[in-house]
Structure 1
Protein backbone atom coordinates (compact mmCIF):
# COMPACT_ATOMS: atom_id res chain seq x y z
CA UNK A 1 0.00 0.00 0.00
CA UNK A 2 1.32 3.44 -0.88
CA UNK A 3 1.05 6.45 1.38
CA UNK A 4 -0.05 9.84 0.07
CA UNK A 5 3.53 11.04 -0.18
CA UNK A 6 6.26 9.74 -2.46
CA UNK A 7 7.62 7.28 0.09
CA UNK A 8 6.13 3.78 -0.03
CA UNK A 9 4.89 2.40 3.25
CA UNK A 10 7.23 -0.18 4.68
CA UNK A 11 5.32 -1.17 7.79
CA UNK A 12 1.71 -1.60 8.82
CA UNK A 13 0.07 1.20 10.77
CA UNK A 14 1.66 1.29 14.20
CA UNK A 15 -0.04 2.19 17.46
CA UNK A 16 1.54 4.30 20.17
CA UNK A 17 1.43 1.22 22.38
CA UNK A 18 3.48 -0.76 19.86
CA UNK A 19 6.02 2.05 19.64
CA UNK A 20 6.13 2.31 23.43
CA UNK A 21 6.76 -1.42 23.76
CA UNK A 22 9.41 -1.50 21.03
CA UNK A 23 11.35 1.47 22.37
CA UNK A 24 11.14 0.09 25.93
CA UNK A 25 12.49 -3.27 24.77
CA UNK A 26 15.23 -1.55 22.75
CA UNK A 27 16.40 0.33 25.84
CA UNK A 28 15.99 -2.66 28.17
CA UNK A 29 18.15 -5.09 26.18
CA UNK A 30 20.89 -2.44 26.03
CA UNK A 31 20.61 -1.80 29.78
CA UNK A 32 19.87 1.88 29.11
CA UNK A 33 16.92 2.12 31.50
CA UNK A 34 19.18 3.47 34.23
CA UNK A 35 19.86 6.52 32.04
CA UNK A 36 16.25 7.14 31.04
CA UNK A 37 14.94 9.32 33.82
CA UNK A 38 12.19 11.78 32.88
CA UNK A 39 14.71 14.64 33.01
CA UNK A 40 17.23 12.89 30.76
CA UNK A 41 14.54 11.90 28.27
CA UNK A 42 13.20 15.45 28.19
CA UNK A 43 16.67 16.85 27.54
CA UNK A 44 17.22 14.30 24.78
CA UNK A 45 13.83 15.24 23.30
CA UNK A 46 14.74 18.94 23.33
CA UNK A 47 18.00 18.11 21.56
CA UNK A 48 16.14 16.18 18.88
CA UNK A 49 13.65 19.03 18.42
CA UNK A 50 16.68 21.27 17.87
CA UNK A 51 17.99 18.92 15.19
CA UNK A 52 14.55 18.89 13.58
CA UNK A 53 14.43 22.69 13.67
CA UNK A 54 17.79 22.94 11.92
CA UNK A 55 16.33 21.23 8.87
CA UNK A 56 13.87 24.11 8.41
CA UNK A 57 16.07 26.89 9.75
CA UNK A 58 17.07 28.55 6.48
CA UNK A 59 14.36 27.27 4.14
CA UNK A 60 11.72 29.91 4.81
CA UNK A 61 8.16 28.76 4.30
CA UNK A 62 7.77 25.36 2.68
CA UNK A 63 4.78 23.90 0.88
CA UNK A 64 2.74 21.03 2.27
CA UNK A 65 4.06 17.73 1.05
CA UNK A 66 7.51 19.30 0.51
CA UNK A 67 7.27 19.10 -3.30
CA UNK A 68 10.60 20.89 -3.83
CA UNK A 69 12.60 18.79 -1.40
CA UNK A 70 14.96 16.03 -2.47
CA UNK A 71 14.42 12.44 -1.38
CA UNK A 72 17.50 12.75 0.82
CA UNK A 73 16.12 15.88 2.53
CA UNK A 74 12.78 14.16 3.11
CA UNK A 75 14.51 11.08 4.51
CA UNK A 76 16.54 13.25 6.89
CA UNK A 77 13.34 14.99 8.03
CA UNK A 78 11.63 11.63 8.51
CA UNK A 79 14.49 10.43 10.72
CA UNK A 80 14.51 13.54 12.90
CA UNK A 81 10.73 13.55 13.31
CA UNK A 82 10.97 9.88 14.28
CA UNK A 83 13.61 10.66 16.90
CA UNK A 84 11.30 13.29 18.42
CA UNK A 85 8.35 10.90 18.42
CA UNK A 86 10.30 8.05 19.98
CA UNK A 87 11.66 10.20 22.80
CA UNK A 88 8.18 11.64 23.42
CA UNK A 89 6.64 8.18 23.58
CA UNK A 90 9.40 7.01 25.90
CA UNK A 91 9.06 10.07 28.14
CA UNK A 92 5.32 9.51 28.49
CA UNK A 93 5.92 5.84 29.30
CA UNK A 94 8.57 6.54 31.95
CA UNK A 95 6.20 9.10 33.51
CA UNK A 96 3.40 6.51 33.58
CA UNK A 97 1.19 8.42 31.13
CA UNK A 98 -0.99 7.07 28.33
CA UNK A 99 0.08 9.37 25.52
CA UNK A 100 -2.69 8.35 23.14
CA UNK A 101 -5.45 8.96 25.68
CA UNK A 102 -3.82 12.19 26.80
CA UNK A 103 -3.71 13.44 23.20
CA UNK A 104 -7.34 12.54 22.58
CA UNK A 105 -8.36 14.27 25.82
CA UNK A 106 -6.40 17.35 24.76
CA UNK A 107 -8.21 17.46 21.40
CA UNK A 108 -11.55 17.43 23.24
CA UNK A 109 -10.34 20.16 25.60
CA UNK A 110 -9.11 22.25 22.66
CA UNK A 111 -12.45 21.85 20.89
CA UNK A 112 -14.19 23.24 23.97
CA UNK A 113 -11.67 26.06 24.31
CA UNK A 114 -11.82 26.96 20.62
CA UNK A 115 -15.39 26.30 19.45
CA UNK A 116 -16.38 26.65 15.82
CA UNK A 117 -17.45 30.15 14.84
CA UNK A 118 -19.87 31.09 12.10
Structure 2
Protein backbone atom coordinates (compact mmCIF):
# COMPACT_ATOMS: atom_id res chain seq x y z
CA UNK A 1 0.00 0.00 0.00
CA UNK A 2 1.11 3.55 -0.53
CA UNK A 3 2.06 5.58 2.50
CA UNK A 4 -1.09 7.66 2.22
CA UNK A 5 -3.34 4.59 2.18
CA UNK A 6 -1.35 3.05 5.04
CA UNK A 7 -1.61 6.28 7.03
CA UNK A 8 -5.34 6.54 6.37
CA UNK A 9 -5.85 2.90 7.38
CA UNK A 10 -3.88 3.45 10.58
CA UNK A 11 -5.97 6.52 11.40
CA UNK A 12 -9.15 4.57 10.74
CA UNK A 13 -7.99 1.66 12.94
CA UNK A 14 -7.18 4.09 15.76
CA UNK A 15 -10.61 5.72 15.40
CA UNK A 16 -12.22 2.27 15.55
CA UNK A 17 -10.08 0.97 18.39
CA UNK A 18 -10.46 4.11 20.53
CA UNK A 19 -14.21 3.38 20.51
CA UNK A 20 -13.83 -0.40 20.98
CA UNK A 21 -15.80 -1.02 17.79
CA UNK A 22 -13.70 -3.88 16.38
CA UNK A 23 -16.02 -6.22 18.24
CA UNK A 24 -18.81 -5.13 15.88
CA UNK A 25 -16.70 -5.42 12.74
CA UNK A 26 -16.95 -9.00 11.64
CA UNK A 27 -16.03 -9.50 8.01
CA UNK A 28 -19.68 -10.24 7.21
CA UNK A 29 -20.93 -7.08 8.90
CA UNK A 30 -18.30 -4.92 7.22
CA UNK A 31 -19.26 -6.29 3.80
CA UNK A 32 -22.95 -5.69 4.54
CA UNK A 33 -22.16 -2.15 5.68
CA UNK A 34 -20.19 -1.46 2.50
CA UNK A 35 -23.23 -2.57 0.51
CA UNK A 36 -25.51 -0.31 2.52
CA UNK A 37 -23.20 2.65 1.97
CA UNK A 38 -23.07 1.84 -1.74
CA UNK A 39 -26.86 1.96 -1.71
CA UNK A 40 -26.68 5.44 -0.19
CA UNK A 41 -24.31 6.45 -2.99
CA UNK A 42 -26.82 5.15 -5.53
CA UNK A 43 -29.58 7.05 -3.78
CA UNK A 44 -27.87 10.31 -4.75
CA UNK A 45 -28.56 9.62 -8.42
CA UNK A 46 -31.82 7.72 -8.19
CA UNK A 47 -34.39 8.99 -10.67
CA UNK A 48 -31.87 11.25 -12.43
CA UNK A 49 -30.87 10.76 -16.06
CA UNK A 50 -27.23 10.55 -17.07
CA UNK A 51 -26.91 14.22 -17.99
CA UNK A 52 -28.53 15.37 -14.74
CA UNK A 53 -25.95 13.38 -12.79
CA UNK A 54 -23.10 14.82 -14.85
CA UNK A 55 -24.47 18.33 -14.30
CA UNK A 56 -25.01 17.77 -10.56
CA UNK A 57 -21.29 17.44 -9.94
CA UNK A 58 -20.99 21.22 -10.30
CA UNK A 59 -23.47 21.78 -7.45
CA UNK A 60 -21.54 22.26 -4.18
CA UNK A 61 -24.22 20.53 -2.09
CA UNK A 62 -24.27 17.50 -4.39
CA UNK A 63 -20.46 17.36 -4.45
CA UNK A 64 -20.38 17.44 -0.64
CA UNK A 65 -22.88 14.60 -0.36
CA UNK A 66 -21.12 12.66 -3.11
CA UNK A 67 -17.80 13.06 -1.29
CA UNK A 68 -19.35 11.84 1.97
CA UNK A 69 -20.88 8.75 0.39
CA UNK A 70 -17.78 7.87 -1.65
CA UNK A 71 -15.73 8.25 1.53
CA UNK A 72 -18.09 6.00 3.48
CA UNK A 73 -17.73 3.27 0.85
CA UNK A 74 -13.94 3.71 0.73
CA UNK A 75 -13.57 3.56 4.51
CA UNK A 76 -15.58 0.34 4.68
CA UNK A 77 -13.39 -1.12 1.93
CA UNK A 78 -10.33 -0.23 4.02
CA UNK A 79 -11.90 -1.92 7.05
CA UNK A 80 -12.73 -5.03 5.00
CA UNK A 81 -9.22 -5.18 3.57
CA UNK A 82 -7.64 -4.76 7.00
CA UNK A 83 -9.88 -7.41 8.56
CA UNK A 84 -9.17 -9.89 5.73
CA UNK A 85 -5.45 -9.10 5.51
CA UNK A 86 -5.72 -7.83 1.93
CA UNK A 87 -3.35 -5.22 0.54
CA UNK A 88 -5.97 -3.17 -1.26
CA UNK A 89 -3.53 -1.26 -3.46
CA UNK A 90 -1.71 -4.44 -4.49
CA UNK A 91 -5.01 -6.17 -5.29
CA UNK A 92 -6.21 -3.16 -7.29
CA UNK A 93 -3.03 -3.27 -9.39
CA UNK A 94 -3.51 -7.02 -9.89
CA UNK A 95 -7.11 -6.45 -11.01
CA UNK A 96 -6.07 -3.77 -13.49
CA UNK A 97 -3.49 -6.21 -14.88
CA UNK A 98 -6.21 -8.87 -15.25
CA UNK A 99 -8.52 -6.40 -16.99
CA UNK A 100 -5.69 -5.30 -19.26
CA UNK A 101 -5.32 -8.91 -20.42
CA UNK A 102 -9.09 -9.36 -20.84
CA UNK A 103 -9.61 -6.08 -22.67
CA UNK A 104 -6.72 -5.50 -25.09
CA UNK A 105 -6.75 -1.96 -26.46
CA UNK A 106 -7.02 -3.06 -30.09
CA UNK A 107 -10.25 -4.95 -29.34
CA UNK A 108 -11.82 -2.97 -26.51
CA UNK A 109 -11.15 0.65 -27.42
CA UNK A 110 -14.38 2.61 -27.79
CA UNK A 111 -16.87 -0.12 -26.94
CA UNK A 112 -18.48 -1.47 -23.80
CA UNK A 113 -18.68 -5.13 -24.71
CA UNK A 114 -17.74 -7.71 -22.12
CA UNK A 115 -14.43 -9.46 -22.76
CA UNK A 116 -16.28 -12.66 -23.69
CA UNK A 117 -17.93 -10.76 -26.57
CA UNK A 118 -14.80 -9.17 -28.02
**Bucket of the pairwise TM-score, normalised by the shorter protein:** 0.7 to 0.9
Structure-2 residue corresponding to 1:44: 33
What number of residue pairs does the alignment pair up?
A: 103
Structure-1 residue corresponding to 2:73: 84
SS of alignment partner, residue 15 of structure 1: helix
Match of 1:66 among 57, 60, 69: 57
TM-score (norm 2): 0.81
Runs (5+) with no aligned partner, structure 2: 108-118
RMSD: 1.7
Q: What is the CA distance between 1:116 and its match in structure 2?
A: 1.3
Within 5 Å, give how 1:1-118 maps onto structure 2.
Answer: 15-61=4-50, 62-63=53-54, 66-67=57-58, 70-117=59-106
Structure-1 residue corresponding to 2:113: none
Runs (5+) with no aligned partner, structure 1: 1-13
TM-score (norm 1): 0.81
